[in-house]
Chains A and B, each alone.
Chain A
Amino acid sequence: MVRVPINILVVDDEEDFVEMFSLRLEEMGEIVKGVNSGQECLDVLESTDVDVVILDIKMPGMDGIETLREIKRRRPITEVILLTGHGTTDTAVEGMKLGAFDYLNKPADFKDLMEKLEGARKRKAEQEERIRKAESRSLMRRSGNLF
Chain B
Amino acid sequence: MSTEKAVKVLLVDDEDAFRQALAKRLERRRIEVFQAADGKSALEALKAFPVNVAVMDVKMPGMDGLETMACIKRDFPDTEVILLTGHAAVEDGIAGIRAGAFDYLQKPVETENLLNKIHQAYDKSRHQHDLAKEAELREALEKQMATAERLASLGTLAAGVAHEINNPLAIISEAAGYLQLLLKKDECREMPFHDRFEKAIEKIEKSVKRARRTTMQLLGFAGQPDAVYREIELDDLVEEVILLAAGQASAAGVTVAKEKNPSSVTLWTDPHRLRQVLINLVSNGIAACGRGGRVSLSFDSSNDWATIQVKDTGHGIPKENLERIFEPFFTTKPPGKGTGLGLFVSLDIVKRLGGDMQVKSKVGKGTIFQVSVPRLSKTCPGVCNDIDWRDKARELERRDNHGTGAH
Q: Give every chain B residue within 8 A of A83 (Cβ-Cβ).
A: 170
> Is A87 part of the binding interface, using a Cβ–Cβ cutoff of 8 Å?
yes
- Interface readout for A69-108 with B: 1 if CB under 8 Å, 0 if not? 0000000000000010111111000000000000001111
Tell me the chain A residues, 20-47 only, with Cβ under 8 Å from chain B. 20-21, 23-24, 27-28
- Interface readout for B391-406 with A: 1 if CB under 8 Å, 0 if not? 0000000000000000
Contact B223 A108 (CB under 8 A): no
Q: What is the distance, in angstroms, from B123's C-beta to the closest C-beta of chain A?
A: 57
Tell me the nearest residue of chain A to B208, going by C-beta: A107
Contact B166 A106 (CB under 8 A): yes
- Interface readout for B194-218 with A: 1 if CB under 8 Å, 0 if not? 0000000000000010001001100
Q: Give every chain A residue within 8 A of B223 (Cβ-Cβ).
A: 86-88
Partner of B171, one of A16, A27, A89: A16
Question: CA of A21 to CA of B212 in the docked complex: distance in angstroms?
Answer: 17
Tell me the nearest residue of chain A to B226, going by C-beta: A90
Question: CA of A17 to CA of B169 in the docked complex: distance in angstroms?
Answer: 9
Question: CA of A14 to CA of B212 in the docked complex: distance in angstroms?
Answer: 18
- Interface readout for B162-177 with A: 1 if CB under 8 Å, 0 if not? 1100110111111101
> Is A147 part of the binding interface, using a Cβ–Cβ cutoff of 8 Å?
no
Tell me the nearest residue of chain B to A14, going by C-beta: B167
Tell me the chain B residues, 156-194 only, with Cβ under 8 Å from chain A. 159, 162-163, 166-167, 169-175, 177-178, 181-182
Q: What is the distance, in angstroms, from B159's C-beta to the closest C-beta of chain A?
A: 7
Q: Give every chain A residue within 8 A of B172 (Cβ-Cβ).
A: 107
How many residues on B have C-beta within 8 angstroms of the other chain's C-beta atoms? 26
Question: CA of A110 to CA of B172 in the docked complex: distance in angstroms?
Answer: 13
Contact A105 B216 (CB under 8 A): yes
> Is B62 part of the binding interface, using a Cβ–Cβ cutoff of 8 Å?
no
Contact A87 B178 (CB under 8 A): no
> Is B220 part of the binding interface, using a Cβ–Cβ cutoff of 8 Å?
yes
Tell me the nearest residue of chain B to A17, going by C-beta: B171
Contact B219 A86 (CB under 8 A): yes
> Is B225 part of the binding interface, using a Cβ–Cβ cutoff of 8 Å?
yes
Q: Give every chain B residue within 8 A of A86 (Cβ-Cβ).
A: 159, 162-163, 166, 219, 223
Contact A17 B170 (CB under 8 A): yes
Question: CA of A5 to CA of B326 in the docked complex: distance in angstroms?
Answer: 50
Partner of B174, one of A24, A87, A90, A105: A24
Contact A108 B170 (CB under 8 A): yes
Contact A27 B182 (CB under 8 A): yes
- Interface readout for A107-123 with B: 1 if CB under 8 Å, 0 if not? 11010000000000000
Contact A85 B178 (CB under 8 A): no
Contact A107 B169 (CB under 8 A): yes
Q: Give every chain B residue within 8 A of A27 (Cβ-Cβ).
A: 178, 181-182
Tell me the nearest residue of chain A to B218, going by C-beta: A87
Q: What is the distance, in angstroms, from B196's C-beta to the closest C-beta of chain A?
A: 21
Question: CA of A140 to CA of B213 in the docked complex: distance in angstroms?
Answer: 57
Contact A87 B170 (CB under 8 A): no
Contact A107 B170 (CB under 8 A): yes
Q: Give every chain A residue within 8 A of B212 (Cβ-Cβ).
A: 107
Q: Give every chain A residue within 8 A of B159 (Cβ-Cβ).
A: 86
Tell me the chain B residues, 59-107 only, with Cβ under 8 Å from chain A. none
Q: Give every chain A residue within 8 A of B162 (Cβ-Cβ).
A: 86-87
Residue among B171, B208, B212, B219 with most chain A CB within 10 A:
B171
Q: What is the distance, in angstroms, from A8's C-beta to the closest C-beta of chain B?
A: 13
Contact A85 B174 (CB under 8 A): no
Contact B177 A17 (CB under 8 A): no
Q: Give every chain A residue within 8 A of B171 (Cβ-Cβ).
A: 14, 16-17, 20
Question: CA of A14 to CA of B173 in the docked complex: distance in angstroms?
Answer: 14
Q: What is the distance, in angstroms, from B163's C-beta to the closest C-beta of chain A?
A: 5
Contact B170 A24 (CB under 8 A): no
Question: CA of A79 to CA of B171 in the docked complex: distance in angstroms?
Answer: 23
Q: Give every chain B residue within 8 A of A89 (Cβ-Cβ).
A: 225
Q: Give every chain A residue within 8 A of B226 (Cβ-Cβ).
A: 90
Q: Give every chain A residue within 8 A of B181 (Cβ-Cβ).
A: 24, 27-28
Q: Contacts A24-B174, A107-B170 given; 17 further ones with Cβ under 8 A?
A: A14-B170, A17-B170, A20-B174, A24-B181, A27-B181, A27-B182, A85-B166, A85-B170, A86-B159, A87-B162, A87-B215, A87-B216, A105-B166, A106-B169, A107-B208, A107-B212, A110-B177
Can you give 17 contacting A-B residue pairs, CB < 8 Å?
A: A14-B170, A17-B171, A21-B170, A21-B174, A23-B178, A83-B170, A86-B162, A86-B163, A86-B223, A87-B216, A87-B219, A88-B223, A90-B226, A106-B166, A107-B208, A108-B170, A110-B173
